[in-house]
Structure formats: structure tokens, C-alpha cells
Amino acid sequence: MAHPNRDAEYLGKLQDYYADYRNLPSYSVIGDLLGLASKSAVSALVKRLMLAGYVDTTPDKRLAPTKRFFERELADFPVPAGLPAAANDAMSEAISIDDYLIECPSASVMVRVKGDSMIDAGIHDGDIAVVEKRHGAKLGDVVVAIVDGEYTLKTLSRDKQGYVLMPHNPAYEPIRPKEGLEIFGVMVGLIRKYK
């Protein structure tokens, strides 16, 4: 299987290119970039990278990076004794926080949280909630509901009398919508910035 080291170097250059432009170049540009004068060489390289799982192709035949494409050399992490388990699972598969939190950009809205009615759920005044606009919500979801023309963030719950919007702060009362319950969206993420 060729020069694996060479391939790693090539992959690095492609990663750099992607970092600059946020998409992968065409075969001929890959050639320029890597110093390969012929497209057959590029073609062979791409095949190897695809086999190794670093790139893939979109429904049309374009090159697209896979999750593995974004893995960084482990050596880059000087791991001291018991490094705080660098968020390795789901997060490391994502290119960015954006990618991690938002699955469907067009349906997602960010909303700044006002008030402390959800403070016991770890949602503070000033935090940003990532809300996915959809009407179906499950019990237990934190939802943005529309009550009397006002938007409010609460946990969706229900009891014998019907749906209840539960705050997470003993100082607040549960809300029982009289006129049916309108759900604006479901909270899928939280972002907080310190200072």
C-alpha cells in the first residue's frame, strides 16, 4: 500500500487546505497542492484515502471529508498524567461546536435566556439556548412554548389534568396552558460564555 508516510503528509496538506477554504479542491488543484503533475497520481491517492476512510464522495461525485478527516495526530496532544479526558467522544467527531450542536441549521434558532426560572436545570440568565423549531416534543424535553403570546422556556410535562410547563426553580409556579399548548421548538443545546 504505497508510502503511508507520504500519504499522511498529503492528508495534512489537504486538511490545511480545508481549514482555509472549508471545502476540498478538485483533482487538478490537489495535484498542484501536493506536487503531483498528473491526475492519475491524484486519482490513486484519493482512492487510497477513501479506502482508509478519510474522504468520501457526495451524491454527486464531489469529494467530501469524513469525520475521520478531522482527527488530529494524537501526538499533538501532550498528554500529561490524566489529562482531563479531552472530550473525546462525540465532540471529537465534530469539526466545530457548531457542527456538534446544530444538526439542521435552517430549523435552529439561538435564543438568549432571560430570567432564572430554569436555574435548577443548569440554565442560567444570559445563557444561549439552541432551539430546534419543531412541533413534536416529548415529555421531559425542555421546550420553548408560546403561552398567551409570550415565549417561555420550560420542561414539558403532563399529569392527570393535561400538559404542564414545569419551571426548575421553586420560586416559580408550573404553567397550565388553558388554550391548548403551542410548542415553538425543542431545546437541543446550551451555550454559556464566562465573562
Partner DNA sequence: GCTAGAGTAGAACGTTTGTTCTGCACAGGT
Partner DNA sequence: ACCTGTGCAGAACAAACGTTCTACTCTAGC
User: x/- binding map, residues 51-90, to DNA, per CB under 7 A?
Assistant: ---------xxxx---------------------------
Burial of 142 (0-12, 13-18, 19+ CB in 10 A): buried
Using CB under 8 A as the binding rule, the residues of this chain from 30 to 69 that contact a copy of itself are 58-60, 62-65
Q: Provide the greatest CA pair distance for the chain.
A: 73
Name the residue nearer to DNA (CB basis): 31 or 167: 31
User: x/- binding map, residues 6-35, to a copy of itself, per CB under 8 A?
Assistant: ---x--xx-xx-xx-xxxxxx-xx------
Residue 171 interacts with a copy of itself (CB under 8 A): yes or no: no
DSSP per-residue string spanning 126-144? T-EEEEE--S---TT-EEE
Residue 2 interacts with DNA (CB under 7 A): yes or no: yes
Picking from 90, 171, 181, 99, the residue whose alpha carbon sits closest to that of residue 135 is 181
DSSP summary character for residue 26: P
Q: How many residues bind a copy of itself (CB under 8 A)?
A: 90
For the bound state, the minimum distance from the C-beta of residue 161 to a copy of itself, rounded and expressed in Å, comes to: 26
CA 9 vs CA 12, 54, 133, 161, 181: distances in Å: 5, 13, 43, 64, 57
Please pick, among 39, 117, 133, 195, the residue that the annotation labels catalytic. Answer: 117
Catalytic residues: 117, 154
